[in-house]
């Protein structure tokens, strides 16, 4: 481990715990919004547009936030590479929590008219900025504290926060369908998960304050080698790598947002649709799939420490394509256990293409622009993949009357990511510290010596 000083096992455990808790809270906030968008926001904020269009508009607000992730990534990357990973993580956590809590207090269209969806969109944009800055900092705190041969499993800590956030968001939403069934859920029950965010933010903030700065950044700072304009340096020398890295993430993001973006929840519970299941059981099924996603995320990261990031990813893409083929057939069976089976099968490939991502991204970029590189690549990949996947899926079903087009669309994005993965050399175990900046700057893209 390269650092300005030795990193103890106790500090490493503290970092792992803090990144898991922090990212869980961040993504709980993000996914609570997506779940509500699939279940009630169309009716509460976009009702005048009509049922089908209101659903598409509701999902549009989910995707709109992704367009502002690059802004969050640019800001977080710039300040994270100049002033450290820790301070950025504190700011993003508070920003996300404030925006989420305010959504829980927001009047609906029937109360204040068109101002309601406008305010909803503004708060979602704040969530997008926060999410864009959060991931890169959490990833680097985990990976840059890790032993060289355990970067995959350490890097899985912030990755696990995503399925845990989905598990928590779906579980709380499902619980509220019991506490406030039927009309009560639409009147006030959906607000409780948003208001709960304030408690979770206080817990996450306390835990993150106790974590030391990344040892790699401390070494850079001690040498006064922080890059003055990391964004400029990144795109001047590594823009091709940013594009390829973004495409690697696109497939996982597009498929993952079928549930994290609320589409399957909406499709399975729509009373005028082909399935018509109750909200509660569907939310519990999504929560169950989040648990399996968490397990396979850890497993994918563990495998990547043994066979390399690239090989683990290629296994994951094949598994994801195989699970996509029967997905909507299983969802449309109208049986909650069969739906759960379809979602669980999907999480195997999702885990293998998400667990190793933190280590993969950290090993792709030089230390001086690493925060900017991983944050911006992730943000662009999320836009290309998941940003509008629920809206595109809803529009395809509306246009064709079938989910076949959705399956084809998702398969094409996965194949695009598989191709991008094949373009990369495996850099598992490459030195991460500033002493090895020249080695890190050699392009990992096959056929290129320098980006």
Query: Distance between CA 76 and CA 112 in Å, rounded?
Result: 35
Q: For residue 424, give the 3-state DSSP assignment.
A: strand
How many residues does this entry show for the chain?
451
Q: For residue 233, give the 3-state DSSP assignment.
A: helix
269-272 contacts: CB < 8 A, separation 24 or more? 269/38, 269/39, 270/55, 272/51
User: CA torsion sign, 28 to 61 to 49 to 254?
Assistant: negative
**Which residues in 278-306 are b (16+ Cβ under 10 Å) and which e?**
ebbbbbbbbbbbbebbbbbbbbbbbbbbe
Q: What is the DSSP letter of 356?
A: T
β-sheet bridge partners, residue 365: none
**CA neighbor of 387 nearest in space, from 191, 74, 131, 135:** 131
The Cα-based distances of 395 to 31, 38, 54, 60, 391 in angstroms read 21, 14, 12, 11, 6
pLDDT of residue 3: 41
β-sheet bridge partners, residue 442: 450
Q: Which residues are within 8 A (CB) of 177 and not within 5 positions of it... i.e. 6 or more apart? A: 185, 189, 278, 279, 280, 283
Instruction: Give me the CATH code for the 9-441 domain, please.
Output: 1.20.1250.20
Q: What is the pTM of this model?
A: 0.81
pLDDT of residue 84: 66
pLDDT of residue 89: 76
Q: Are 73 and 378 in contact (CB under 8 A)?
A: yes
**CA neighbor of 65 nearest in space, from 22, 99, 40, 41:** 99
DSSP H helical segments within 332-356, as ranges? 336-352
Q: How many CA atoms lie within 13 A of 20 on its CB side?
A: 17
**CA neighbor of 45 nearest in space, from 102, 103, 110:** 110
β-sheet bridge partners, residue 424: 445
Tens digit of pLDDT at every position of the chain (451 positions): 444 456 677 777 778 888 888 788 878 887 898 889 888 898 899 988 877 788 888 888 887 887 888 888 878 777 776 666 677 777 888 888 899 899 999 999 999 999 999 999 999 898 888 887 777 777 887 887 788 889 999 999 888 988 898 889 888 998 999 999 988 999 999 999 999 988 888 887 777 676 666 666 566 555 555 556 777 888 888 899 999 999 999 999 999 988 877 889 889 998 877 888 988 899 899 989 999 999 999 999 999 999 999 999 999 999 999 999 999 999 999 899 999 999 999 999 999 999 999 999 999 998 888 888 888 898 899 889 987 888 899 899 989 989 999 999 999 999 999 999 999 999 998 888 777 778 878 889 987 654 3
**CA neighbor of 76 nearest in space, from 65, 62, 63, 87:** 87
Q: Are 28 and 165 in contact (CB under 8 A)?
A: yes
Q: For residue 275, give the 3-state DSSP assignment.
A: coil
Q: For residue 450, give the 3-state DSSP assignment.
A: strand
**CA neighbor of 425 nearest in space, from 244, 197, 213:** 244
pLDDT of residue 451: 39
Q: Which residues are within 8 A (CB) of 179 and not within 5 positions of it... i.e. 6 or more apart? A: 189, 192
Give the pLDDT confidence of 378-434 residue by residue, as tens digits: 889 988 998 788 889 989 998 998 999 999 999 999 999 999 999 999 999 888 877
Map out the domains of the chain as residue ranges: 9-441
pLDDT of residue 238: 87
Q: Are 262 and 39 in contact (CB under 8 A)?
A: yes
Kindly tell me the burial class for residue 91, based on how many C-beta atoms sit within 10 Å of its own C-beta (0-12, 13-18, 19 or more): middle
Helices 230-237 and 69-83 pack at an angle, to 10 degrees, of 110
- For tokens 């700072």, name the residue: 221
């Amino acid at each position: 481990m390269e650092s300005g000083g030795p990193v103890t096992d106790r500090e490493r455990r503290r970092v792992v715990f803090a990144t898991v808790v922090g990212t869980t809270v961040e993504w709980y906030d993000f996914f609570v919004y997506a779940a509500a968008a699939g279940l009630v926001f169309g009716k509460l904020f976009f009702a005048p547009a009509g049922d089908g269009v209101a659903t598409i508009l509701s999902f549009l607000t989910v995707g709109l936030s992704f367009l502002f992730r690059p802004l969050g990534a640019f800001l977080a990357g710039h300040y994270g590479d100049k002033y450290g990973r820790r301070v950025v993580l504190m700011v993003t956590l508070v920003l996300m929590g404030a925006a989420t809590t305010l959504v829980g207090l927001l009047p609906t269209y029937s109360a204040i008219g068109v101002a309601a969806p406008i305010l909803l969109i503004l708060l979602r944009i704040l969530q997008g900025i926060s999410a864009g800055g959060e991931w890169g900092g959490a990833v680097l705190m985990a990976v840059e504290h890790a032993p060289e041969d355990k970067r995959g499993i350490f890097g899985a800590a912030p990755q696990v926060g995503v399925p845990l956030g989905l598990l928590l968001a779906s579980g709380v939403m499902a619980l509220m369908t019991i506490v406030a069934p039927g009309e009560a859920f639409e009147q006030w029950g959906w607000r409780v998960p948003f208001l709960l965010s304030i408690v979770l933010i206080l817990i996450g903030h306390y835990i993150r304050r106790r974590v030391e700065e990344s040892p790699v950044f401390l070494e850079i700072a001690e040498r006064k080698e922080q890059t003055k304009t990391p964004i400029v340096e990144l795109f001047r020398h590594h823009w091709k790598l940013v594009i390829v890295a973004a495409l690697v993430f696109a497939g996982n993001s597009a498929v993952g947002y079928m549930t994290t973006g609320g589409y399957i929840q909406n499709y399975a519970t729509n009373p005028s649709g082909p399935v018509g299941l109750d909200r509660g059981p569907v939310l519990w099924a999504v929560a169950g799939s989040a648990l399996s996603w968490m397990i396979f995320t850890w497993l994918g990261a563990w495998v990547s420490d043994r066979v390399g990031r690239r090989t683990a990813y290629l296994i994951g893409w094949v598994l994801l394509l195989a699970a996509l083929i029967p997905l909507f057939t299983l969802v449309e069976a109208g049986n909650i256990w069969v739906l759960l089976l379809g979602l669980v099968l999907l999480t195997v490939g999702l885990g293998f293409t998400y667990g190793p991502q933190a280590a993969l991204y950290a090993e792709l970029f030089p230390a001086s622009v690493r925060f900017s590189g991983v944050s911006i690549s992730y943000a662009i990949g999320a836009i290309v993949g998941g940003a509008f996947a629920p809206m595109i899926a809803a529009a395809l079903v509306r246009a064709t009357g079938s989910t076949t087009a959705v399956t084809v669309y998702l398969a094409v994005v996965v194949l695009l990511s598989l191709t991008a993965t094949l373009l990369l050399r495996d850099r598992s175990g490459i030195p991460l510290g500033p002493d090895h900046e020249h080695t890190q700057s050699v392009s990992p893209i096959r056929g290129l010596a320098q980006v």
